[in-house]
Amino acid sequence: MASAMMKSFRDENAKDMSDSGCRPCCSMPHGYNSVLAATLATLAWLLSFVSVTNCHFLTPDYLYCHPPPTPDPKFGSCGDCHCINLDKPCPNGPGEVPLTQVPDDWLKQLKAMETTNPYEMKCNPYNTTEYLNCTDPPLVERQIELWETAVCGHLYDMSALDENQCPTQYEMVTYDSKEAMEAAGAVMTHWGACGACSTSKDLAVYLEYPDLTGKGQECAIRGLPNFGGSFAQGIECFQEVGYTYSCAEMWMYNVENTRDTCFDVCVDFTFLGDGSNNGPPPECKIANCLLCDEQMSGPFFQTVAARSRRRSGLLSKIVRACEVLLIVDHEPPCNVTRRSLGRELQSSQRITAPPQFTEPEPTETCVFIDTDLGLTSYESTDTNNWLVPKLFLSAEEAERISSYDSCFAYEFNGVISGFWRNQRDIFGSAYNAANAFGSLALIIGIIGLVCVWCSTCIASGNRFWTTMTLIFGTCGAFMILTLVFFASKVCENGCKMGSAAITAIVSAFVWWGAAGFSFGSKPVNEEVPRANCCCCPTIKSASNYSSIPATAEEDEVVEVEITETTNASGDVVIEKTTSFPGGNKVVERTTHKKNAVEQTLKASTIGTGDMQQE
């Protein structure tokens, strides 16, 4: 009988453990707030990672977080290079890329100046053997024979400056070499001897209009008598873009000669071609019409007109071999005269104190820095940064290099050590603080992220959700504090807000949103009376779920059955079975020694909340 009663107890207990009161595992014990908190925390962490590890979010004028701009489509290119390099590296370093554009103020200065010795055309150089005498003054044969060893310079008249200390007059002088020109105090305008197009106004046209192919075709048609035009109308056409009269006249002579000698190939190029000046890379062969023009008209034009885009150190629509490109260090005329006046003033005054160092304007092409906040990956490429000598050079190298006139490109392997060596002096503590705040947000955030996802399966108490609220709120504050980089020395000249800075701000608000849902995810009592599942503990202090009720509800019947048995030892075993509505039962067992007073209890019916033992 005892064994039968034990089996009955086990069966009833198993039924109790498997009834509908047990909450299934991973059933969102805290409701949808916990899931929303986990989702927002995940999104916030990903945004923080993007902001911290991507290109740094602050962009000063001299520190760029994006690659240098792609070549201007107004200029030709062979593949991804500005010149035909075949199997050689593209020359992209300082002093290797011709000038492409200048500010409008610079163009105004060039257009405002007048030359004191202009060249005037006297004849068509293509129709005579005495082409050196087709200009007044005539060209010097010895200087022409120097070809592109000679240079044409502008010697500014320092006695004819305007109120802004800018030159208004200059003399065109041919020098045998660049060194001779610099010794004379002149400014280089192009390689080769001076000629009809060597004025500053003609240089301004070349700078302002990178491609004059269409204008040249228009002027050629307007200069044709068969189309009701004339040579004079062709000259006026070229003057419309700003050429001086002598230069426009020389251009018309060039157009006439090309029309007479290259008509057949140029008709196909103009009306039947695709408009490309060069063929496909890597050869990028020059179009036949342009090649014919260079061979049949080019030598006389470069001799008499003197100026061409290549000789002036300018890029053009026609891509040429890298080895034939020429570089000219053009400079605004006003800067030249002001610097000269400054030297004269300094030499005439007694220096009473060392001159104060002023940082150079960031106008030179140097090294591009991509700082990944929180990581140690730094990249370098060409851009505009006068800080480079301080960042990436050793102390000995820095002493030999001037930030004013020299900039260099560096290999990636040499960047890391130099950066960390100078980080404290150049970037300052604010940069390190931004690193620390970003790293803390990622580390603390990932810990809270794992915990809050676990809460979607495991019930947690009030203290847990209070902790999650504090963690997510702190992560949002840390992401805002990464903006202290604005206080670093890099931003002394001003910084701009980049995409990663905006990402940092957005991530902060998402962190705070996750904190809000965490605050609202505190456990509440639910209708399900018990939570016996391993994932849903029944301990009230831990989960705040209702424990198993000890009494029945009012007006409901509870049946109590008491059974007495005697075991082999003669002890009396009394079992009390309480049956609740719904089929739940509670079994209580009491053992009395053999000499105990015998008692007999009979089953009785009682109301809910009024249990009686007889």
In the three-class reduction of DSSP (H, G, I as helix; E, B as strand; rest coil), residue 223 is classed as coil
For residue 185, the 8-state DSSP code is T
Burial 594-613 (b: 16+ CB within 10 A, else e): eeeeeeeeeeeeeeeeeeee
Question: What pLDDT score was predicted for residue 301?
Answer: 95
Beta bridge partners of 589: 575
Spatial distance between the Cα atoms of 592 and 594, rounded to a whole number of angstroms: 7
What residue type is assigned to position 280 of the chain? P
List Cα–Cα distances, 410 to 197, 248, 388, 418, in angstroms. Answer: 39, 45, 9, 11
> What is the pTM for the complete model shown?
0.49
Residues with pLDDT less than 50, the chain: 1-25, 55-70, 351, 353-395, 397-422, 524-555, 596-614
For residue range 461-482, list pLDDT tens digits in order.
778 888 888 999 999 999 888 8
Question: What pLDDT score was predicted for residue 349?
Answer: 53
Query: Would the CA dihedral through 184, 188, 192, 195 be positive or negative?
Result: negative
Spatial distance between the Cα atoms of 237 and 217, rounded to a whole number of angstroms: 10
**H or E segment at 560?**
strand 558-566
Give the number of residues written for the chain: 614
For residue range 407-419, list pLDDT tens digits in order.
333 333 334 444 4
End-to-end CA distance of the chain: 23
Question: What pLDDT score was predicted for residue 213?
Answer: 78
List Cα–Cα distances, 317 to 73, 272, 310, 321, 555, in angstroms. Answer: 9, 19, 11, 13, 99
